[in-house]
Structure 1
Amino acid sequence: MDIRQLKTFIAIAEQGTFAKAADAVGLTPSAVSQQVQALESEVRAELFNRTTRPITLNSHGLQMLEAARGLVRSADDVVDAISGRAIGGTLTIGSVRSSALSLLPRAIVALKADYPELKIKLHVANTDELVNDVASGRLDSAMVVEYMGIPRTLTWRPFLNEPLYVIAPPGTPKMPAADMLSRLPYVRFVSRYRLAHIIEMELARSGIITNVIAEIDTIAAVVGCVVHGLGVSVAPWNAVKEAPGEVVSVPFGNPQIHRHVGLLQRQTSPRTTVIDRLHHHLASFSGEFGIPG
């Protein structure tokens, strides 16, 4: 198979008919049919349900489409690197549902200024899904919190050493973190993500018994509850800075607890140059807590 066949195959999947695909890739319908026949002959399987109108991909075709998009993107990236032409194509980025997600829009805008011809797609999912998608090539990179189960084929580089804070409603008298957490109603962050585990582990280590008034599954909602006076809680720096002056905050833990957020990528990624630049912008927008590449 060659890249032209794969581009034609992708066009058929996206356009829905051989005729529309032919217009999209600048070939005749007969040439498109010949390329499809050659591709199916090489993989020794039919890729389309030809009994439907319009035609649709069968299970083999769906599997081939995923691989074809990755191969075409990688080939274009290599040509960009070797030829020195402007970096283009599409960069696919994943992210966990983290308060650090607020850094990505600024970093993406800065990256677009570096590479005007680059298209960027953002996908938000849980850590396990993101790790699998980066490993398989469906994503070029993903922003994830420090993670113990990273495969050997991937690398993870932190860009943020993010501190955690105890936060209290406006007007709350300043007091030690342990006093805030034990004396005042507590808004508990409940999630299977690592941040919730970090918070619970430190509370247990410190022997702090909280008076839980609510259990919330997103940090944004937790902060909102605190801002409106429901109780105190624990939140990372990115979430706290989104509510400047609206909450009273003191460091969580002694010494203060931090978590690392970083970028995940394949060790042999052809998009390394662009991902390095994205890492640079994320570290820069992380201010004093940024970790340079």
Structure 2
Amino acid sequence: MDIRQLRTFLAITELGSFSKAALQVNLTPSAVSQQMQALETEIGVPLFDRTSRPPRPNTAGMQMIDAARELIRTADDAIGTITGRKVVGTLAIGSVRTSAMSLLPKAIVQLRERNPDLRIRLRVGSSDALLQDVAAGRLDAAMVAENRDLPAALRWNPFIREPLFVIAPPDTPAMPDQDLLRAFPYIRFRAAVPLAQTIDHELARMNIPLTEIAEIDTISSITSCVANGLGVSVVPNIAIRECPAPLVAVPFGDPVVTRRIGLVQRIGNARAVMIEQLLTDLRNVSGDHASS
């Protein structure tokens, strides 16, 4: 088994045919077939259902896809480290749906400017699913909030610690956070994520009688509702920074409540060099609230 065979195998699975893969890897269709036959002989099982036209990966072939990606990425990383070349290969990244996700594209652009041969594969999902995918090697890293139940095989490195604010519509008179929460209808962030739990915990500690007008599961929708006068809410600093409307913002809690977001990766990850570069770029784009 060699890397060329694995690249050809992935090209077939991605493009759907031997002939299209041959064009991508600069081989003849017969050479592609010979590579796949040699790969199947070495592995000891067929990887394609050749009764269909074009041949499609069978069950073993589908299982081989993740293994091939992992082997190619590991080889690319090793070659880059040994030769001193810029980072190459593919970096598979996951992210939760968070207001801080806007930082990730900025950091990726910086990373790719230094490493133009690096390919990025990004997936958005729930925190639990992302942690499982990182632990299983399906993702190299994932952007998630601080998690107390992190599996022992994973390491989490923060890149931002930002304060939370009570936000109110433009032109709202300035007043303390608790007065805002008492005086105006409250828009609750209702989602199964640590940020929502942090906000609810502090509100419970304050013991303020809230007049709830809405429950919304995305921060961007909350800032839009507040900007249009529906009520007040609690959001992280970056949501205010990204909102085009001039919201009134007052620090939330005493002391001010914060939330941390970081990158999680497997301990001993072969792509640690890439992930460390991405982590540095995320801290750079996080501005005054960068965390280490």
TM-score calculated relative to the size of structure 2: 0.93
CA distance in 2, matches of 1:149, 1:71: 29
Q: RMSD of the TM alignment (CA)? A: 1.8
Task: Tell me the amino acid that sits aligned with residue 195 of structure 1.
Answer: L
Partner residue of 1:32? 32
SS of residue matched to 2:33 = helix
Whether the 8 Å CA contact 1:155–1:265 is kept in 2: the answer is yes
SS of residue matched to 1:139 = coil
**Equivalent runs, 1:80-159 vs 2, <5 Å:** 80-159=80-159
Partner residue of 2:228? 228
Change (3 A) 1:31 1:190: same
Partner residue of 1:218? 218
CA distance in 2, matches of 1:109, 1:19: 33
SS of residue matched to 2:78 = helix
Whether the 8 Å CA contact 2:220–2:239 is kept in 1: the answer is yes
Q: CA deviation at 1:23?
A: 4.1
Task: Tell me the amino acid that sits aligned with residue 285 of structure 1.
Answer: V
Change (3 A) 1:117 1:30: closer
Q: CA deviation at 1:43?
A: 3.6
CA distance in 2, matches of 1:275, 1:284: 14
Whether the 8 Å CA contact 1:203–1:209 is kept in 2: the answer is no
Partner residue of 1:203? 203
Task: Tell me the amino acid that sits aligned with residue 88 of structure 2.
Answer: G
Whether the 8 Å CA contact 2:48–2:57 is kept in 1: the answer is yes
Whether the 8 Å CA contact 1:93–1:142 is kept in 2: the answer is yes
Q: CA deviation at 1:28?
A: 4.6
Q: CA deviation at 1:120?
A: 2.0
Q: CA deviation at 1:26?
A: 4.1
Q: CA deviation at 1:125?
A: 1.2
Q: For structure 1, which segment, 97-106 or 215-224, has the greater mean C-alpha deviation from structure 2 after superposition?
A: 97-106
Runs of 5+ in structure 1 lacking a partner? Answer: none
Task: Tell me the amino acid that sits aligned with residue 156 of structure 2.
Answer: W
Indicate yes or no: 2:251 matched with 1:251. Answer: yes
Cα deviations across residues 101-146 of structure 1 (Å, max 9, x unaligned)? 1111221221122222222232211111211222222222211111
CA distance in 2, matches of 1:96, 1:273: 22
Whether the 8 Å CA contact 1:283–1:291 is kept in 2: the answer is yes
Q: CA deviation at 1:75?
A: 0.8
SS of residue matched to 1:263 = strand
Task: Tell me the amino acid that sits aligned with residue 10 of structure 1.
Answer: L
**Equivalent runs, 1:263-282 vs 2, <5 Å:** 263-282=263-282
CA distance in 2, matches of 1:111, 1:288: 20
Q: CA deviation at 1:44?
A: 3.5
Cα deviations across residues 168-219 of structure 1 (Å, max 9, x unaligned)? 1111111121121122100111111111111111111111221111111100
Aligned length in residues:
292
Q: CA deviation at 1:31?
A: 4.2
Partner residue of 2:7? 7
Q: CA deviation at 1:27?
A: 4.2
SS of residue matched to 1:172 = coil
Q: CA deviation at 1:258?
A: 0.6
CA distance in 2, matches of 1:153, 1:39: 32
**Superposition misfits of 4+ residues, deviation over 6 angstroms:** none
Whether the 8 Å CA contact 2:86–2:114 is kept in 1: the answer is no
Q: For structure 1, which segment, 90-99 or 24-33, has the greater mean C-alpha deviation from structure 2 after superposition?
A: 24-33
Partner residue of 2:238? 238
Q: For structure 1, which segment, 216-225 or 57-66, has the greater mean C-alpha deviation from structure 2 after superposition?
A: 57-66
Change (3 A) 1:17 1:109: closer
Q: CA deviation at 1:288?
A: 1.8
Runs of 5+ in structure 2 lacking a partner? Answer: none
Whether the 8 Å CA contact 2:22–2:29 is kept in 1: the answer is yes
Q: CA deviation at 1:77?
A: 1.0
Cα deviations across residues 254-293 of structure 1 (Å, max 9, x unaligned)? 111111100111222222222212211211222221114x
> In percent, how many aligned pairs have the same letter?
53
Q: CA deviation at 1:70?
A: 1.4
CA distance in 1, matches of 2:89, 2:160: 28
CA distance in 2, matches of 1:22, 1:107: 34
